A and B are shown apart, each in its own frame.
Chain A
């Protein structure tokens, strides 16, 4: 039960933000992290649980470099 999706913060108003998931705009509560407008965040059950610190591609590249050492 951990459906959480990455989206982009579009606007912030008080305790809530509007997060854009490829054109779908959903309200999400703030309170645990302080994202800026335009940042990628992870949203679960209507709240923003984390700011995503690197792009999908960069993270994968990083992981592939790390596991090289295991060969």
Chain B
């Protein structure tokens, strides 16, 4: 097999078939449920949850993960935010001419590993080849099913609810930026599918769940506060942030509250179940560093505040700009 992708691989002819067979089908194995039909017919119930995402991260391979793992986690975790049980994924590759086949194989293999961990199957896929400089991008659509009595949404927060975060903030974002800016540290991405964690929370009175992605915790909590029309108050001193990520943010002039993750969730839990929820998360994989960071209050309209570590109060808004490192 050749080493690099050329426009021939995108032609739809034998080169394309060979690519699909030797790179994707080979890696996906029994996680792929389609028999090479143009569409897959799936089983489920009436309440279908669907989400879609495109992954264009660079670098494609980074400490702690790669675009393959990332694309599965992204869609799976989005489904979990609606209380859905993730079941299927579609995977579409857009590959630039010159991309290395060995890298595609690595990414495909990561996808397979992660879908197994997440308990989902790949329903169908697609590949396209375009002109470019050797990169590749992936789009995934996640499909899950919501049970009849589940009602988890952004509007769900109620007064006295607790705000619980499943672990340290900003790891993925800090990892990617460190690679791009060549800052030497040992920060790794936290990209992970949170299916097990979400399943444990199912039995408890959880009113909202969100995975913390681009824009960070502050952006997610702002949206939940705005949707529910309640006041959210979090404590800076209780926020879990690793020393290294804190140091990195210090150098770059960034705020961990606005740095994205790819394997952490925040949930808004009824006061009665908050202790149990915290334990449940801490007992799940990827949840050891979970913290109870704040409470929800009645309000006239949605607001988000942080009590700073010296006891001041600061109102938070969604991320205002790109999060590029500040120098001055």
User: Contact residues of A with B, CB < 8 Å?
Assistant: 1-3, 5, 7, 21-26, 45
Chain A residue numbers with a CB within 8 Å of B183 are 24-26
Selected from A1, A2, A21, the residue in CB contact (under 8 A) with B250 is A21
Selected from A1, A23, A45, the residue in CB contact (under 8 A) with B247 is A23
Known A-B contacts A3-B253, A5-B250, A5-B251; the reply to A24 vs B326 at CB < 8 A is: no
Chain B residue numbers with a CB within 8 Å of A25 are 183-185
Chain A residue numbers with a CB within 8 Å of B328 are 1-3, 45
Q: What 0/1 readout, one digit per residue, does chain B (183-203) give for beta carbons within 8 Å of chain A?
A: 111110000000000000000
Known A-B contacts A3-B327, A3-B328, A45-B327; the reply to A23 vs B250 at CB < 8 A is: no
Min Cβ gap B256→A in Å is: 12
A23 touches B186 (CB 8 A): yes
Apart from A1-B328, A7-B247, A25-B183: 15 A-B pairs, beta carbons within 8 A: A2-B328, A3-B253, A3-B328, A21-B247, A22-B243, A22-B246, A23-B187, A23-B243, A23-B247, A24-B178, A24-B183, A24-B184, A26-B183, A26-B251, A45-B328
Q: B248 near A: Cβ within 8 Å?
A: yes
B327 touches A24 (CB 8 A): no
Q: B244 near A: Cβ within 8 Å?
A: yes
Known A-B contacts A3-B253, A5-B250; the reply to A23 vs B327 at CB < 8 A is: no
A3 to B186, CA, bound (A): 23
A24 touches B247 (CB 8 A): yes
A7 to B184, CA, bound (A): 14
A69 to B183, CA, bound (A): 46
List residues of B (213-265) whose CB comes within 8 Å of A's CBs: 243-244, 246-248, 250-251, 253
**What are 7 A-B interface contacts by the 8 Å CB criterion?**
A3-B327, A21-B248, A22-B246, A23-B186, A23-B187, A24-B185, A25-B185
Of all chain A residues, the one with the shortest Cβ separation from B326 is: A3
Q: What 0/1 readout, one digit per residue, does chain B (10-23) give for beta carbons within 8 Å of chain A?
A: 00000000000000
Chain B residue numbers with a CB within 8 Å of A24 are 178, 183-185, 244, 247-248, 251
Of all chain A residues, the one with the shortest Cβ separation from B250 is: A5
Most buried by A among B186, B244, B246, B251: B251
Shortest 7 CB-CB contacts between residues of A and residues of B: A22-B247, A1-B328, A23-B244, A21-B247, A25-B184, A24-B185, A22-B243
